[in-house]
Structures are given as structure tokens and as C-alpha cells.
Chains A and B, each alone.
Chain A
């Protein structure tokens, strides 16, 4: 009895090794979706996936074949991310969309480059991604621009003393702070009073905040990899009695900000890619109607950027006229004046998009309103 059980279990375990089934060749074009579906950034990955899936539903075909989205979970971990990237390559995808979080993109970037598969990021803003990589492109702006704009905003508002709280293991968060500080240093009289570090599993920021507040900053700048960290910082800062303004970068544009911090988000400012108040394109209303119909809620900037990323990739495949990876890559890099739902996309010589940054302000009920838009 025990022996049969042992043999049976051994068989089951061996069979489970063969679950990586070779995919059927045929009339589908496979596009990889490289996102964190589980782990600390799961919410960000989910937002991106929503955008891709919606676009796939509305525009399911290219070159006469169906587009199949193959999702690979990076589990919000850099080691898992490179394995997830490899699994996409093994599944024979012609191109990749994603990821949320520049750090995770970077983890997969080398894999895609060696396999010579083009990858398109929708919201990853760290410049390192496209610097030495001939296969990654993005349809959003990069952090030197975002960080500089944030610094100029602080200068214009007269915030002389800035306390910074950054997520130390996020390349994006640290990079953004870097560019912010570089710009701030060029203005007389503006200083960074303290810089607190945390990791994305941290939930207790009271020690950091107490220390930051003891130096009497005019404003707190939170640079986080994912909104819940910022929400906790905002919540705990207000509970500790900090009444000054708080601002952050594009990762604050997520529903979790209000869900976790509640009405304490009132007055928080962040930069982002898109706002409904911006001049809309013909696709914007199509996207908004489809999104609201499918998900029953208002879309965030990440959703619409991913929608556009999918469309940009699809247009590139169409231009390339084939599923040859190099041809698709060249077509992506040559994107000029492509009209998406969030605006017009033109890639520069570094395969980054040249786009305006939008400043938004959150209200106590969780909705955010447009403040201003700055062109590069």
C-alpha cells in the first residue's frame, strides 16, 4: 500500500514537469505580458493588465491573425522577473508589453535583449531601461523630465525645506529623487532637510516621519514604487500631526491611495501621464466608454497608458508587415504622431516618448482634479 502510494506520487511529480506544453502554432500572434500579478506590486500589475486586456478586446487582430496575450507573473521580485521574462521568450512571443515598475523591467530587459524580442513599457519611467538596451522602448516620459518638473513645482510653490522619503530598493523611486535633487540644487535657498529610506514591505513609517518632521520641512516628497506605501506615509504623517503639503510621482496615481489613506489624502499632489481634462483624442471617449462598461469604475492613468501601449505595438506589427522581431522593433522605434487614448505618441532617438507631464491634486473624497500640464 505504501509502496503503491510512493510510486503514484513519484509519477505525479514527474508528470508535473511536463506541464510546460509546447504551444500550438497557428493563426495567433503571441504578445507577452510581463507584469507582477502577485506580490507587493500586484495592484500595479493588475491595472496594467486591465489596460492590455481591454485593448485586446477592442482590437483583437492584426495582419489577419488573432492576438493572444500570454501573461507571465514576475511576482514583484527581480529574480522571479528575469525567470518570467525567460518563460515568455520560451513561449515564442513576438513582442512583450510591460512591466509595471522600472526595476522589474530592468530585471527582464537583458533577457529580452539577448533573445532579440522587442519590449514596450507603458509606465516605467527610469531612463536606464532604454539607455543601453536596443530592444526596450516606452510610450511614457522619463524621470529626468519628471524629477525636474517636480523640483520646479516645489520651487515655484516656495517649499524651501523638503523632506524626502524614498523606497530604497526601487530603481524608479531612487532615480526620481536623484533627478529631483539635481534640479533643486540649482535653485538658491532650497534644501533637502532629510532623506528617509524604506523597503516596500515596510508598513510602519512613524519612525521615519517623526525624524523627518523634527527638522521642520515645508513639504514631504514621497518617492515610492507603488501607491499603498505612499498612502501609509500620508496617513501616518497626518496622524503624527504633519499639516504641511505632501507630493509624489506617478506611482501615486492609483485607487489604493484613497482606499488606504481615506480622507487624509486631501491636498496631496502628484505627477502623472494623463487626465481626462486634457485635450482628448478620438480614441479617448472610446476607451472611457469601454473601460467603464467593462469594469464599472473610473480608469487610472496606468490603464489608459497600457491601452495605448497595446495599440502602439499593434500598429508597429502592422507597419512591419510581419512577425519578424527586428522589423517590429524598428517599427516601434519609428512611432511618430501615433494617436492613442491618452494623447499623441512620438518616440525620440532614445526610444522614449516625448510627452507632457500632468499635475493632479487629490481631494478628500478620493477623486483627483487637474492642476496643470507642462510640455517638455
Chain B
């Protein structure tokens, strides 16, 4: 029983990390119908910014984290401004290719600037200390991460459902052209979407770095793909769906490996198999709406 609880705690933690990243994917898709493949690289850059902020400038951890969230969010907005906005009126595939380009660009930029050798993410005692709860040993971040993810989600829901900015975002997601006709500032709304999505990714990156301290230029590629799968699982475009998808993916991954340890080498493959199954059985995802084509 203790082993099961241990795996469950781990699954909850990993699931929350995936959820945080999936939110960014889903929000950008909802507003721009763009699958932002560069999201994983924003995640990676956030980790490097924290590393250099704390090791080079000797910032205390809370200042370093806060600064990273702001800088990463601005990096996201910058990438939108440079790589996606000029392609607003181009066919959707052009923006997709541009996203892939940004992803490779950031990866190689990081390799050239930060070097190929892995670095160690700074460890913060508040998060990394291990507590013993009824025989289950987990790091304190195992409790803090789901908590933080939950708080952020509530705030996000509030923003989307109860504020004018959220209303604008929902309008743009519903009907792009009509929103423009209604006088919504498209540039500002999209910029805010990227800001929030990238900020979420950077929170995810910080939590990820605390749990798995190894940073390298390619650290964002697998989590990026997995969170894309999580977003699709929950219904791409739906924020609650993204969180649900993230949690589900985390649970499935951990519990499958826990139940069949001999298959642990195929861990990443489970996520992709899940994606294929979802696309075949329910392509709109768990909470996605059927996309009706108006003729």
C-alpha cells in the first residue's frame, strides 16, 4: 500500500507539471489556432534564465523565480511578435512551420550560447526537502506543485471567465474575424495570451528544474511534446481540459510503469500511443467541443 501511495504521489506531481505546460499550448491554440511547437523551448529558456539569474547574479531564489517568469513571458510575446504576427494572414501551415523554426532556433541558440554540457538547476530547500507522510517519502515540492498548479488554474479561470481581457480572449477564440469587427484589439489580446501561456510554462519549468535538476538545450523537447499530447487529450483549446489532460497523462505514465516495470523503457512510447488512441476514438479530446463547420 505504501508503494502504491508513493507512486500516486509521484504521479500527481508529474501530472501537475504537465498540466502547467499544457495550459500554455491550449491557450495559444484557442486564440490563434496555432500549435506552438516552440513552447517546449520557452520552457527550456526559463530554466536557463533561472540558472544564470541565481548563479551569475546571486539573486535570492524568490527574486530569481519572479524575474524569470516575467522575462520568459516577455520572450513568449517577443516570439509571437517576430515569428507569428507577420504570418497572421498567411495559411495556417505557414505559422506552424514558423513555430517549428522558432523551436529549432531557440534550441541551437541555447547550445551555442550556454554550451552543450548539462548544467545543474539551483536547489531550493523549501521545495527539495523530503518529508515523511505516513510512510510515504516525498519531496515537499510533491505537495507544493499540485497546490501551485491548482491556485494558478483558479486564477486563470477567473481571468478568462470574469474579466474583460478574458472575454476578449474567448471572443477571438470563438471567431477571429468577428472579434476584429467588434473592435477587439487583436494584437493586444494575442500578446496577453502568449504572455500568460509563457508565464505558465516558466512556472512549470521552475518546478520541473527543482524536481529534475539537469538542464540542457534539449530538455524542453520531450516535455513539450508530452504537453502537446496532454492538451490534445483534454481537448485542445479548452483550458480545464488541458489541466485534466496533463494530470491524466502523468497518472497513466507513472502508473503504467509502476504496474509493469519491465516496460519502463517504453515510458515515452505510452504517451504517443495514448495520443494515437485519442485521435482515433475521440479527436476533440475529453472536454473538446465538436467543431461545426458553417457552410
Contact = CB atoms under 8 A, between A and B. Distances in A.
Contacts of A256: 118, 120
Contact of A211 (B14, B211, B258): B258
B261 A196 contact: yes
A43 B118 contact: yes
Contacts of A43: 117-118
13 contacts: A42-B118, A46-B117, A169-B265, A197-B264, A199-B265, A202-B267, A207-B7, A208-B264, A210-B7, A240-B6, A241-B132, A256-B118, A256-B120
Interface in B134-149: 137, 139
A37 B130 CA distance: 35
Interface string B5-43: 011001000100000000000000000000000000000
A159 interface: no
Given A37-B116, A208-B261, A260-B214, 16 more contacts: A42-B118, A42-B216, A197-B265, A199-B267, A201-B222, A201-B268, A207-B7, A207-B10, A210-B10, A210-B258, A239-B130, A240-B6, A240-B137, A241-B132, A256-B120, A260-B120
Contacts of A210: 3, 6-7, 10, 258
A39 interface: yes
A284 interface: no
A262 B118 CA distance: 15
Given A39-B218, A46-B117, A204 B265 contact: no
B187 interface: no
A276 interface: no
A38 B10 contact: no
Interface of B: 3, 6-7, 10, 14, 111, 115-118, 120, 123, 130, 132, 137, 139, 211-214, 216-218, 222, 254, 257-258, 261-262, 264-265, 267-268
Given A42-B116, A42-B117, A168-B265, A262 B123 contact: yes
Interface string A159-202: 00000000011000000000000000000000000111111011
A232 interface: yes
A367 interface: no
Interface string A205-243: 011101100100000000000001000100100011100
Contact of B254 (A207, A214, A260): A207
Nearest to A169: B265
A43 B117 CA distance: 5
Interface of A: 37-40, 42-43, 45-46, 168-169, 194-199, 201-204, 206-208, 210-211, 214, 228, 232, 235, 239-241, 256, 259-260, 262
User: 9 closest A-B pairs (Cβ-Cβ)?
Assistant: A42-B116, A203-B212, A38-B116, A197-B265, A168-B265, A211-B261, A43-B117, A207-B257, A241-B137
A204 B212 contact: yes
B67 to A, nearest CB: 24
Contacts of B261: 194, 196, 207-208, 211
A207 B222 CA distance: 18
Contacts of A259: 120
Contacts of B116: 37-39, 42, 45-46
Given A210-B6, A239-B130, A198 B264 contact: yes
Nearest to A47: B117
A229 to B, nearest CB: 9
Contacts of A239: 130, 137, 139
A203 B213 CA distance: 8
Contact of A228 (B118, B218, B264): B118
A204 B258 CA distance: 12
A68 to B, nearest CB: 22
A111 B166 CA distance: 58
B213 A260 contact: yes
A38 to B, nearest CB: 4
Contacts of B130: 239, 241
A360 B200 CA distance: 44
Contacts of A42: 115-118, 216
A102 to B, nearest CB: 18
A194 B217 CA distance: 33
A43 B6 CA distance: 32
B249 to A, nearest CB: 13
Contacts of A262: 123
A259 B122 CA distance: 10
B97 to A, nearest CB: 15
A206 B10 contact: yes
B182 to A, nearest CB: 33
A206 B253 CA distance: 12
B288 to A, nearest CB: 28
A198 B265 contact: yes
A125 B109 CA distance: 34
B257 A38 contact: no
A197 B268 CA distance: 12
A45 B115 CA distance: 12
Nearest to B213: A260
Given A207-B10, A208-B261, A232 B137 contact: no
A203 B268 CA distance: 12
Most buried by B among A37, A169, A195, A260: A260
B111 A196 contact: no
A204 B123 CA distance: 16
Contacts of B267: 198-199, 202
Contacts of A39: 116, 218
Contacts of B137: 239-241
Given A199-B268, A207-B7, A232 B214 contact: yes
